[in-house]
Amino acid sequence: MEFTVVILQLAAVITIMEEHELQPSIAAKFPTGIPKLAKLLIRTDNSPSQNWAHKVSSRSEKGQQLVHLYAALLERTSIAVACNHIKGKNNSLADYISRPPTHIPSPAWRHQQIFEKAPKLASYRYFRPHPDLLSSLESKLFSEQWNVTTTLPKQLGQFEAAASITSSFVTL
């Protein structure tokens, strides 16, 4: 499951690069445009995910399915990808976000908690994967049969203001 986050990070960056007009925050970082040979640094606290991203392979059958989707995304872009491991003790914010308390009054309340702990996150954009990408991801995770073909949707997803999201899904 952890490798799905790596896949979604790559899909989000590809979506940014395919946007016709760069968002102001991205354009500020790249005033002359995104480099043709851009490098994406993905960070994960999961060692197998780091290995799968580097090798673009896995020994497990389920892992191979996910790596196949990851490889299809890599083929779609000229982005060079590096994946670094973050030790769990250095990943407290991600752990805080991904491990909510057992009782949450509402998603809005949870978001308020997260934004209080890390105010900068309120300015981030939320990546909402396209339903067809999620469907492909779901089939890779839960299908018992090897799926040789991986057809990516034309649109991988879209971005929305993180502060406007009321679901309890993932913010990248």
pLDDT greater than 90 at residue 8: yes
Residue where the block lists tokens 């009054």: 105
Q: What is the pLDDT of residue 169?
A: 45
pLDDT band for position 34 (50/70/90)? confident
pLDDT greater than 60 at residue 138: yes
pLDDT greater than 60 at residue 172: no
Q: What is the pLDDT of residue 133?
A: 95
pLDDT greater than 90 at residue 132: yes
Pick from 137, 107, 155: which is nearest to 3 by CA? 137
Measure the CA–CA gap between 12 and 84, rounded to whole angstroms: 18
- DSSP assignment letter at 106: -
Per-residue model confidence as pLDDT tens digits over 87-131: 877 778 877 877 777 787 887 788 788 888 888 887 778 889 999
Q: What is the pLDDT of residue 101?
A: 77
Distances (CA, A) of 162 to 15, 82, 114, 159, 169: 16, 26, 11, 9, 11
Residue where the block lists tokens 């994946």: 83
H-helix segments, the chain: 2-18, 24-29, 47-55, 61-76, 92-98, 107-117, 131-142
Q: What is the pLDDT of residue 145?
A: 74
Measure the CA–CA gap between 145 and 110, rounded to whole angstroms: 38
Burial string for 89-125 (b: 16+ CB within 10 Å, else e) reads eebeeeeebeeeeeeeeeeeebbeebbeeeeebbebb
pTM: 0.80
Q: What is the pLDDT of residue 171?
A: 40
Residue where the block lists tokens 């760069």: 22
Could you state, in order of their start, the residue ranges of all structural domains in the chain? 2-101+127-159
Q: What is the mean pLDDT of the chain?
A: 83
